[in-house]
Amino acid sequence: MNFKTILAGVYGFLGVSAFGKDAEGKSLLSKDQETLLEEKYGKKFLESFKEDLKKLEADGSSAESTVTEEVKADLEKEKEKGAKELKQAQERIANLEKENKQYEAQIELLGRNAAEDKGVVVDNANGSAMNRKFKPDMSLGFNQHINSVLNGKGAVVSGNDTIDTEQLHKEFGRYVSSEKFEIFKSLVGTTDSLQYMQTMITDKFEVRATHSHITSVLQSFIPKWTPKGKSAFTPLTIKQYPMKINVEIVPAEVIDECIGYLYDESLDPADMPIVKYIIEQLVKPKLDEEREYAFALGRHKDPTANADGGYTASEANDVCDGYLTQLCDIKRGGNTQGVNFLLDGKTLGTGAQLVTDIEKAVDEVKVNYKNKKMFIHCDPDIVLNYSRAYRDKYPNSKNQDGEKITVDYTNCVFGPIEGMRGTGAFFITPKENFRHLMSREPRDQKLRMQTADYTAKVFGEWREGVGFWLAEAIFAYIPDSLLNKLSPAGEQPSGL
């Protein structure tokens, strides 16, 4: 649509045949007219329209003279075309809504019957696949058993015969196939500490910062090239480590737990097959807990073979170097990287002294970080003790922050992390400096099951790790007790 047609449309919308004129005879929109156009079409349209109008009259012609009968006819054609396209779009939407209801009805019908191992696929109007929501196969013995008990009919069978592990294997495959992304987003998802980190997806086993931190650029002018901004940063290496879960379950031993769980009236038994219960109620909570502590306190140890050539499962804290372990290693190694250690050699006080110590620590944050909102990542006990001490010191004050405790007159907010509980440590750093690495997105992770006799074995593998980007952006308090525990004197810290 050319501008003359748009101009004719604007005349029609405003109900005028011409605009007012300025001293030079150029068209001039009134404030009311500009307001109407901005409300109808937006500020960007208004500014573009005024600019095009100015260009149109640049050669001395008037805007109204360009709106001929031919232009008005073109406008009517555009209106008819627009009305036709709108009607066609409305018809398409109505047809799509009708087709969607048909697909929902078909999916509901399929959900009442057993599905093949890879699930049932329904093709929509655009030819793409749409997986139905997972439903348990009620022809399988363990699902019949659960359904019978929950409906007050008693157990269908008893003892180990309750579970056929080959059937469980088949059901597990269907469940993982239909719910894969949600399973791994849940299994390898956000823990307590990860909410404070910036996650990076990379296939590299190690990453380091590659961009500089500019310290200053402004200077007095002289007609010579005098570069000023020096790089002042120490990139730290962040590693990710191969991890796995190997969970062995005897389904017959957990089926009663599953049934008890399903007696919660808020749950629909049809949406909680035993395989979903195994993953969500047995595997996930323990994995969340152990990942959290490994991320904070872990010390990576390579698995070693036993005398017979076999291997023993490693401890959860052996899978990776935690962020507190890394800080302890840096401090033990002489801090050649330049981390800002706070209250060095001191023990945090109690009561009013604790409030003073925290305020002093926050005051040591460098001036170029003071305008950034940052978390004081810490032992949850520090937050509790600080809050009580602050209440006792200022009994007439009211906590306006609720659970988010802010240190007075600063941008620092306490961020308690369960993995740091009992350490007495804390550190302050911007979120972009606190990193979490993953080898791939959760949707690409692998989860599988093998069965033998009455045992089911769940397998899962992935890589991840945590760490810091730049040393100078870390402000940390590490008590001597934690330093001696995580990086004992005389031991060569890893990675240094």
Instruction: Please report the DSSP string for 409-433 in residue order.
Output: TSSEEEEE-GGGTTS--EEEE-GGG
Full pLDDT tens readout for the chain, 496 residues = 677 778 878 878 888 778 888 877 888 888 888 888 888 888 888 888 888 888 888 877 777 777 777 767 777 777 777 778 778 777 877 777 776 666 556 545 544 443 333 333 333 333 333 334 667 777 777 777 777 777 766 555 554 445 667 778 777 777 777 666 667 666 666 677 888 998 888 888 888 876 555 556 677 777 877 766 655 678 899 998 988 888 888 877 777 777 777 776 566 666 666 777 887 778 888 888 899 999 999 999 988 888 787 778 888 899 999 999 999 999 999 999 999 999 988 899 999 999 999 999 999 998 888 888 899 999 999 999 999 999 898 887 766 555 678 999 999 999 999 999 999 999 999 998 999 988 765 556 677 788 777 788 888 888 889 999 999 899 999 999 999 999 998 665 555 5
Rg of the chain, C-alpha, whole Å: 33
Question: Is 477:354 a contact under the CB 8 Å cutoff?
Answer: no
Q: Are 169 and 455 in contact (CB under 8 A)?
A: no
Look up residue 154 and give its two tokens. 């008693």
Q: How far apart are CA 254 and CA 264, in angstroms?
A: 17
d(Cα 388, Cα 351) in Å, to the nearest integer?
Answer: 8
Identify the pLDDT of residue 435: 92
Whether 144 contacts 156, CB under 8 Å: yes
**Are the C-beta atoms of 155 and 149 separated by less than 8 Å?**
yes
Rounded distance between C-alpha atoms, residue 118 and residue 173, angstroms: 7
- Could you give the 3-state DSSP secondary structure of residue 130? strand
pLDDT value, residue 354: 95
pLDDT at 22: 80
C-alpha–C-alpha distance, residues 200 and 435, integer Å: 7
Per-residue b/e over 1-20, b at no fewer than 16 CB within 10 Å?
eebbbbbbbbbeebeeeebe
Structure tokens at 82: 């627009």
**pLDDT recorded at residue 372:** 87
Residue type, 109: L
Q: What are phi and psi of 467, to 5 degrees?
A: 170, -165
Strands 434-438 and 198-201: parallel
H/E segment holding residue 492: none
DSSP 205-261: SEE---S--B--------SS------B---BPPEE-EEEEEEEEE-HHHHHHHHHHH
Q: Is residue 46 a contact partner of residue 37, using CB atoms and an 8 Å limit?
A: yes
**The pLDDT value given to residue 334:** 93
| Segment (H or E) for 163 | none
- CA 293/CA 191 separation, integer angstroms: 10
How far is the C-alpha of 279 from the C-alpha of 460, rounded, in Å? 11
**Beta strand ranges found along 281-433 (DSSP E):** 340-341, 374-378, 412-416, 426-429
β strands within 202-240, DSSP E: 206-207, 238-239
What is the Cα–Cα distance from 306 to 429, expressed in whole angstroms?
42
Q: How far apart are CA 281 and CA 304, in angstroms?
A: 31
Please give the pLDDT value at position 189: 63
Helix pair angle (3-14, 31-41), 10° resolution: 110
Q: How far apart are CA 142 and CA 155, in angstroms?
A: 10
Residues with Cβ < 8 Å from 495, sequence gap 6 or more?
237, 239, 321, 326, 329
